[in-house]
Structures are given as C-alpha cells and as structure tokens.
Amino acid sequence: MRQNPKGKMLTEEEKTYHFKRLQSRNYKASLLLEGIHLDPTEKPQKHGMQTEAKLIAELKARYAR
C-alpha cells in the first residue's frame, strides 16, 4: 500500500479520494475509446471510410503494451 509523505498509511478519506479520482479517469478513458468526447474544445477524429475491423486493429496497435 502506498504511504503518504510522512511515512504513515493513507487514511480512509485519502483512500476514498484516490479511488474516486482513479475511477473518474478510467471512466473518461473508456468514453474516449467509445468515441464519446466530453471536452467541447476537443475535435473528434474523423475515421472516413475505414472499416470497423481496421479501426479495431489500429486501436489494438495503439494500446498494445
């Protein structure tokens, strides 16, 4: 478990805050993968005439570890 700078374990409040922040970040990333853009200043990518299979292959290549 991660420790705070003072060397003590995280409090329940700190754990809850961290979990909620992580959950929110993951949810937003999931929406982006689905093509839903929450930021109005961000322009969605145009995929043109690409097939679904080609888009999936590109996403797999992009997020491969």
pLDDT of the residue at 20: 95
pLDDT in tens, 11-54: 999 999 999 999 999 998 898 888 777 776 766 566 566 677 88
18 touches 10 (CB < 8 A): yes
The label of the residue with tokens 């322009």 reads 43
Question: Given a cut of 70, is residue 2 above it in pLDDT?
Answer: no
User: 3-class SS at 3?
Assistant: strand
Confidence of residue 5 (pLDDT cuts 50, 70, 90): low
Q: How far apart are CA 65 and CA 39, in angstroms?
A: 27
Q: 3: which strand partners?
A: 9
Question: Given a cut of 70, is residue 60 above it in pLDDT?
Answer: yes
CB count, 10 Å around CB of 53?
8
pTM above 0.75, yes or no: no
Please give the angle made by the CA atoms of 23, 21 and 40, to the nearest 5 degrees: 85
